[in-house]
Amino acid sequence: MSGPQASWTILATLRWTADYFRTKGVSEPRAAAEILLAHTLSVSRLDLYLRYDQPLNPEELARFKALVVRRRAGEPVAYLTGHREFWSLDIQVTPAVLIPRPETETLVAAALEAAQFYEENEVERGGQGEDQPKTGSRKPKPPSIWGLELGVGSGAVVIALAKELTRMAWVGLDTSGAALAVARGNARRHGALDRVHFLKSDLLTALKPYAVFSLLVANLPYVPRAEWERLPREIKAFEPPGALLGGEDGLDLIRPLIRQAPQYVKAGGWVLLEVGDRQAPLVVALFQQTGAYDRLESIKDFSGMERVVRARRREAAG
């Protein structure tokens, strides 16, 4: 006679869990069941189906059950596994950081475009000449271009950019020491720690106001107070409010950043901000009011929402 646990094969466990999540209103029930079971067994999601008739042993079953209970209580899958994929990179997360969102890949894509445009135009501005030695036969070193991310959280955005833009060096700021520790760990694992310098800072206060950056990207907290009340419990009760809440209209941090950024960004450099639902026109207006930017543009995410606002630091008025 086989023990009762013999019937808990991988496939039976997945089916039961997906049904349970579904009846309890847990989002993406099947995916959640797969990710949590794969995590429990330290295998890939695909492996689950290659070994679908393998039974779980009592110890595995107990660990899996504990995760199912926590998920049912609202805890996000990414905090349960400690991982989230972003820009095809495995990013480690803890409750100290916002879980990277797929729509934030729009910010990365828009920043890559801006960086390319900047590099193509740098020769015209004479930037290439500055770093070249006057004599000697050594090949001139390419100028290093600096980027800045404000509010790095897990580090997902700045690490994705550092991996793509291999000639650039980066500064990554956050007010949270715990978040910076997570970001540093992720940068180290992805071999980007030598090109990203992480610093604790409230907005830009840790930096001297020198216009050295060619790119400034930020996914600041932008959720308006009233909207915060309506967010699912899964976000409200588990993700760091400091990474989400942006005051009455959500723009409490974006407003000062737009005012201060011209002191830090080179003429011809770009500022890119992630924004929330219906905020893009307001943020465009904020950029315009300063008179310090041109080429204002809103960029839509995959769901058609205006998700990123991009602006170029004006060339010195002449």
- Binding residues for ligand GLN, per CB under 6 A? 101, 219, 221-223, 244, 274
Q: What is the DSSP letter of 241?
A: G
Closest CB 275 distance from ligand GLN, rounded Å? 8
Distance between CA atoms of 173 and 198, rounded to whole angstroms? 6
CB closer to ligand GLN out of 174 and 274 = 274
Cβ–Cβ under 8 Å, residues 199 and 206: yes
Residue 228 CB, shortest distance to ligand GLN, in Å, is: 9
Classify residue 222 by burial, with Cβ atoms within 10 Å: 0-12, 13-18, 19+.
buried
Residue with tokens 């920043």: 111
Is 212 or 235 the residue whose CB approaches ligand GLN more closely? 235
Dist. CA 250–CA 248, nearest whole Å: 6
Nearer to ligand GLN, 199 or 231 (CB): 231
CB of 87 to ligand GLN, least distance (A): 16
Q: 222 or 264: whose CB is closer to ligand GLN?
A: 222
Residue with Cβ nearer ligand GLN (153 or 268): 153
CB burial of 230-269 (b: ≥16 within 10 Å; e: otherwise) equals: eeeebbeebbbeebbbbeeebbbbbbebbebbbebbbebb
**Which of 212, 282 has the CB closer to ligand GLN?**
282
C-beta separation of 145 from 167 below 8 A: yes
Element (H, E) at 23: helix 10-23
Q: Which is nearer to ligand GLN, 108 or 244 (CB)?
A: 244
The Cα-based distances of 29 to 2, 15, 36, 70, 98 in angstroms read 30, 10, 11, 14, 21
Give phi and psi for 162, each to the nearest 5: -65, -35
Look up residue 209 and give its amino acid: P
Least Cβ distance, residue 230 to ligand GLN (angstroms): 10
Least distance between ligand GLN and beta carbon 222 (Å): 4
Q: What does the DSSP assignment read for 87-120?
A: TTEEEE--TTSPPPPGGGHHHHHHHHHHHHHHHH
Q: Of the two residues 9 and 201, which places its CB atom closer to ligand GLN in the complex?
A: 201
Supply angle C-alpha 184, 307, 314, rounded to 5.
Answer: 85
Tokens linked to 287: 């950029």
Report the nearest approach of ligand GLN to the CB of residue 35 (Å). 19
